Structure 1
Amino acid sequence: MFKEDTLKNEVILITGGGSGLGLSMAQKFAELGADIAICGRTEKKLEKATEELKKHGTEVRYYPCDVRDYEAVGEMIKGIIKDFGKMTGLVNNAAGNFLSASEDLSPGGFKAIVDIVLHGSFNCTHHFGNYLIKQKEKGNILNIVTTYAEDAGSAFVLPSACSKAGVLAMTRSLAYEWGTYGIRVNAIAPGPFPTEGAWTRLFPTKKFEKKYLEKIPAGRYGEHEELGNLAAFLMSDMAPYITGETVTIDGGEKLSGGQFNFIDSVMSRGKLKMAFKMLKMKG
């Protein structure tokens, strides 16, 4: 599908690139010739991911950074530009999520997700966008949102739903505003793609997982390679006229309504709230 040099001469930062979908996208970008920067809060995880990514033969560096910290993000972007000589692409992938009845949310729990997802995406986008505008360079920004960021929303993940909706609004706003600078801003809305971390937090039992699978018309979960291919296409010169777009990749799952609305049919509300509290204690 792609030529080996599809992303050659690109320098792409993937936030939350040390594991999960972030690492999978970084793998695809490196495979197609891009130099890679990844960031996250856990240095050990970043070190391991960097070694994996280096097998593709491109330059790879990691940067321990909390995307919630605007000043720290600015220093990271400066470091990437110094180390690589430039930065051409950004993937806002860092996120957080957990299940909770909305009436049981604490202000701190709500704020934690908003800070990572919405503020973190703004922090990285603002610094990178200003760099491109100042240097009069074109660039690409790709935001990872969710299928419930638009239209339906979703029960039991209110902080994530609000945050991702904000990121989606930012995507479209900046695609228009920054189009004049040659900056493309797009989003991907992934459905269920199993990852080690998020999967255990959002699907505590086999019953939950089975019920969820039943609502996907394709009858299966997504494969990381599929998401990587889509991200690579949107970050490449093959999509120069695509901006302000959100591409859903979910096997048709979005058509059934809010992503986690089905949970209400698994067990009583009281039992659900007990299950959510147990999940919170675990992790």
Structure 2
Amino acid sequence: MFANDTLKGRTALITGGGTGIGLEIATAYAKLGASVMLVGRNEERVQAAAKALTEAGGVAGARKADVRNYDDVKAAVDATVESFGSLDILLNNAAGNFVCPTAELSPRGWQTVIDIDLNGTFHCCHAAYPHLKQSRQGASIISIITMLGVTGWPQAAHAAAAKGGILSLSRTLAVEWGGDDIRVNTISPGPIGDTEGVQRMYIETGRGHLEEKKTALGRFGRKEDIANAAVFLASGLGAYVTGENLIVDGGRWLKYVAS
């Protein structure tokens, strides 16, 4: 769908890049010419993912880091630039969540998700900024959120607040850093059928058909759909797009409103 050199010469750092949507995006980026650094808390997982990308002909590295720790993040950013010579794309994908009624949610549980999702995104943006503004091709920050962070997310107030905060942060940075030729956008995926989360929560529990009916298109999305959106926003194809929340959810949020 994209030309093979769409991301040629660009370097991307992807948090939560060892599995799922993060790895799908990394795979797409590598196939289209980007050098990718996969970052995650599980070193074995990101190393294995980077090795697979390299064996498939891509250029990839891996770094263990916890996005809750700013020093970890800065070290990963610096290692990316040292390894590949630049940083042009930051993909904030690392996230945490669990289901819990708000009245039963402990302060520690709240803090954990806020630390990973919202604070982790800020840490990555802040540490990457000095390098992103030196990008010769124009830089791009993309954060994975959800429309449930906009509409509200019963029994996941911590994740909803964090994702809503990321959207606000991203639009703030789009204005503040636009003069540095850094574009800042978010992607809101819907139910993605080939992810572990949807398989476990919906399909294996027999709720798959019901969840599909909640979308306007009547079906689950694929990881590839999110990767395609991430390629568009990171590449020259989206050169005049910033401050945008690209909704890739099969119309689920609209159908909720219509219902």
TM-score w.r.t. the length of structure 1 is: 0.86
Shift of 1:58: 2.7
Which whole-Å CA distance do the structure 2 matches of 1:198 and 1:69 have between them? 25
Residue identity opposite 1:68 in structure 2: R
Q: For 1:1-283, what aligned pairs fall within 5 Å after superposition?
A: 1-133=1-133, 135=134, 138-150=138-150, 152-194=151-193, 196-199=195-198, 202-203=201-202, 206-257=205-256
Contact kept, 8 Å, 1:17 with 1:23, in 2: the verdict is yes
Which 4+ stretches in 1 moved above 6 angstroms? none
Q: What is the percent sequence identity of the aligned residues? A: 37
1:164-186 CA-to-partner distances (Å, cap 9, x unmatched) read 00000011000011101100001
**Unaligned residue ranges in structure 1 (runs of 5+):** 263-283
Shift of 1:37: 0.4
Residue identity opposite 2:177 in structure 1: W
Contact kept, 8 Å, 2:195 with 2:223, in 1: the verdict is no
More displaced 10-residue stretch of structure 1: 59-68 or 222-231:
222-231
- How many residues of Structure 1 are paired with residues of Structure 2 in the alignment? 257
Which whole-Å CA distance do the structure 2 matches of 1:201 and 1:252 have between them? 22
1:184-213 CA-to-partner distances (Å, cap 9, x unmatched) read 001110001135543366448524433322
Shift of 1:136: 7.0
More displaced 10-residue stretch of structure 1: 110-119 or 187-196:
187-196
1:77-115 CA-to-partner distances (Å, cap 9, x unmatched) read 111111111111100000111111111111111111110
Q: Which residue of 2 aligns with 1:280?
A: none
SS in 2 for 1:257: helix
SS in 2 for 1:238: helix
Distance 1:203 1:100, change over 3 A: farther
Residue identity opposite 1:239 in structure 2: G
Shift of 1:51: 2.1
Which whole-Å CA distance do the structure 2 matches of 1:101 and 1:112 have between them? 16
